[in-house]
A and B are shown apart, each in its own frame.
Chain A
Amino acid sequence: MEIRAEGLEVRFGDARILGDVWLTLRPGELVGLIGPNGAGKTTLLRALADLVRPTRGVVRYDGKPRSALGRAVLARRLAFLAQGDEVNWALRVDHVVELGRLPHRRAFAGPSQKDRDAVERALQAAGVAHLRFRACSTLSGGERKRVLLARALAAEGEVLLADEPVAALDPLHQLRIMQLLRSTARGGAGVVAVLHDLMLATRFCDRIVLLCAGSILLDGDPAELSDALIRKAYGVTAFRGEQDGQPFVAPWVPCDRSSDESFGGLR
């Protein structure tokens, strides 16, 4: 499924969160949505998932607005992983992952063999199969995050929109999840991941969308993420390296002294 944002503007009261965003997401692509805090990444992701109503512009799914598609159809085709690790009540891990299959189930029907297979694949893929009988309330933040990713993967939708899927994960699991997102995209799904880690974003993503103050500064190949753009968006200099023939970018030092001074009280 191709998703197109056409001239999206989102306002919360007087605050303009997104302004005139044009973006196309294609199947088979892992897109890294990056940008500083407050840039509008989560709002853009929520708008793409039809969770926030734009004040202007429209999101089209295979050329159709959501109203023409239907809420239930969209839920079957698009999986959304929210920021954070919210799981209310002491639900068991396999029950949480099973929730990802709700859009595919008839009302009040139990999970079918197909549902159970999808849940099993998701548990294995996210590396949480060994936790399946644990209550989510007994897991660490990182473990819970992986369980929720498994929940989103279990939907086996054509599109996966993931808000900070690797936040709170240890390095091993960050790499594993990025590999998993890339292989999900290689399998034909369109994947968008909101990321803060420039190294992971430039290394694993097919395309980078750099958002700053509600506008897109860059929509292109990771190689196009220049020092100037990083300085403009984040106010930091970048360190560039290459390992095994793969270029990567890492933030290095804050650019201006004023940001040092504003954090002076912390020292």
Chain B
Amino acid sequence: MTASALPGTDAHARRERLAYWKLAGLLALAAVAMTIASAFVGYARLDVLPALADALHGERSLPAMVLTQLRLPRAILGALVGFSLGITGAAMQGLLRNPLAEPGIVGVSGAAAFGAVVCFYSGLAGAFALALPLGGIAGAFVVALILFALVGRGAGTMTLILAGVAINSFAGAMTSIALNLSPNPYAALEIVFWLMGSLVDRSLPQVWLAAPLMVAGWALLISVGPALDALTLGEDSARSLGFDLPRLRVKVVAGCALAVGAAVAVTGVIGFVGLVVPHILRPFVGARPGRLLLVSGFGGAILLLGADIAVRLMPIRPELHLGVMTAVIGGPFLFSLVYRLREDA
């Protein structure tokens, strides 16, 4: 019996593919719209279009500088970091087959934060502009190497999670020591505020530093889509379908280290985006992990830009840190998720 015996099957498959690309396209458009909206929102009154015209003509007018040095880096980084958190959350949940997995679970974000804190503590952060993000990236890189060594020794998924717990606790403890021994209260305050995550006062060079790393991470994560789909049937089945699991783990860890390491290095730790977004979008892609990756990226960008616009529009000064805002949204969501999971059990 062939498919032609069941009219509508082919049409259905086509319709389904179209629906997926429509969803991805819509989310991409919304992410672009949010990025533009983010450039329009700020404390100073700014006519964005004349400022853009000035900037394009190379005039160093005040509006042009506000746009290129304050608004644009913030908007672009919001989109890039949101995308990184969303796609990595989806990949981690797919790899670990656990709805409570999030980008930081293998320890990459904790280590990146610690790397940046070392730069604060040592005074490197004040010595040159890109020291902070470079320190963060170095932290993520070291952890990625440790995790690769583990995978190389045959470590499975559970070992990766446990290693992540160990790395996160250690990085957290070292960060606390840095705070504890901080030379003056201002340095400690600076570290604490930085750890809360924010897009304020970021520069275009930071964007250029982080963007290529993040894009490389996204590419790696998108390449594992079919393997994550196969993994829904368990490890043996995925291997029998021709997928090399150690290679899959290395790719996901590398993608996570590049995308989230670079994100944390420039913005500090922003939680919950990577956890929440895949959950919201999962029903729209038939729960297929491979198809969840790209849309979660766009969803993450939308959510993070939305939160960043919200902190600027809310009448609270000084403005709330972005990590605080996402946790305020994400906490109750996580609770409702746990509540529903309890009902399913």
Contact of A102 among B9, B242, B289 (CB under 8 A): B242
> Which B residues lie within 8 Å of A71 (CB)?
242, 244
**B290 to A, closest residue via Cβ:** A108
Q: Is the CB of B13 within 8 A of A51?
A: no
Q: Is B232 an interface residue (CB 8 A)?
A: yes
- Chain A, interface size category, equals 35 or more
Contact A75–B241 (Cβ < 8 Å): yes
Q: Establish whether residues A148 and B17, one from each chain, have CB atoms under 8 Å apart when the complex forms.
A: no
CB of B56 within 8 A of chain A?
A: no
Number of A-B contacts (CB under 8 A): 94
| Complex: A49 Cα to B241 Cα, angstroms | 10
The answer to whether A102 touches B241 (Cβ under 8 A) is yes
When C-beta atoms are compared, the residue in chain A nearest to B240 turns out to be: A80
B287 touches A91 (CB 8 A): yes
Inside 8 A of A111's CB, which chain B residues have their CB? 13
- Does B244 lie within 8 Å of A46, measured CB to CB? no
A71 to B243, CA, bound (A): 8
Asked if B232 and A91 make an inter-chain contact with CB atoms under 8 angstroms apart, the answer reads yes
Which residue from chain B places its CB closest to the CB of A133 in the assembled complex? B12
Q: Which of A31-39, A116-124, A244-252, A254-262 contacts B (4 or more CB under 8 A)?
A: A116-124
| Nearest-neighbor residue (CB-CB) of A148 within chain B | B233
Q: Which residues between 61 and 108 of chain A lie within 8 Å of chain B, taking CB atoms? A: 71-72, 74-76, 78-80, 82, 84, 86-92, 95-96, 99-100, 102-103, 105, 107-108
A89 touches B233 (CB 8 A): no
Interface size class of B (residues with CB under 8 A): 20 to 34
Does B6 have its Cβ within 8 Å of any Cβ on chain A?
yes
With A49-B240, A116-B13 already in contact, the answer to whether A92 and B286 are too (CB < 8 A) is yes
Q: Is A169 in contact with chain B by the CB < 8 A criterion? A: no
Q: A95-B286, A99-B232 are in contact. Are A120 and B240 (CB under 8 A)?
A: no
Looking at the assembled complex, report how far the CB atom of A79 sits from the nearest CB atom of chain B, in whole angstroms. 7
**B202 interface residue, CB < 8 Å from A?**
no
Given the interface pairs A86-B234, A116-B13, the reply to whether A124 lies near B1 with Cβ below 8 Å is yes
1/0 contact trace for B63-79 toward A, CB 8 Å? 00000000000000000
Nearest chain B CB to A45 CB, angstrom units: 10
User: Is B225 part of the contact surface with A, judged by Cβ < 8 Å?
Assistant: yes
Q: How far is the CA of A177 from the CA of B6 in the complex (A)?
A: 23
Check A110 for interface membership: any CB of B closer than 8 A. yes
Query: Could you tell me if B242 and A95 are in contact, using CB atoms closer than 8 angstroms?
Result: no
Interface positions, chain A 110-148, Cβ under 8 Å from B, are 110-111, 113, 116-117, 119-121, 124, 129, 135, 148
**CB < 8 Å: which of A75, A88, A129 contacts B97?**
A88
Residues of chain B lying within 8 A (CB to CB) of residue A49: 236, 240
B288 contacts the other chain (CB 8 A): yes
Provide the bound-state CA to CA distance between A226 and B241, in Å: 38
CB distance from B211 to the nearest CB of A (A): 24
Q: List 15 A-B contacts (CB under 8 A).
A: A72-B242, A75-B241, A82-B233, A86-B234, A86-B237, A87-B233, A88-B232, A99-B233, A99-B241, A102-B230, A102-B241, A110-B17, A116-B10, A121-B2, A148-B233
Question: Given contacts A120-B3, A120-B9, could you give 5 more A-B pairs where the C-beta distance is less than 8 Å?
Answer: A51-B239, A71-B242, A82-B234, A84-B234, A89-B289
Q: Which residues of A contact B (CB under 8 A)?
A: 46, 49, 51, 71-72, 74-76, 78-80, 82, 84, 86-92, 95-96, 99-100, 102-103, 105, 107-108, 110-111, 113, 116-117, 119-121, 124, 129, 135, 148, 151
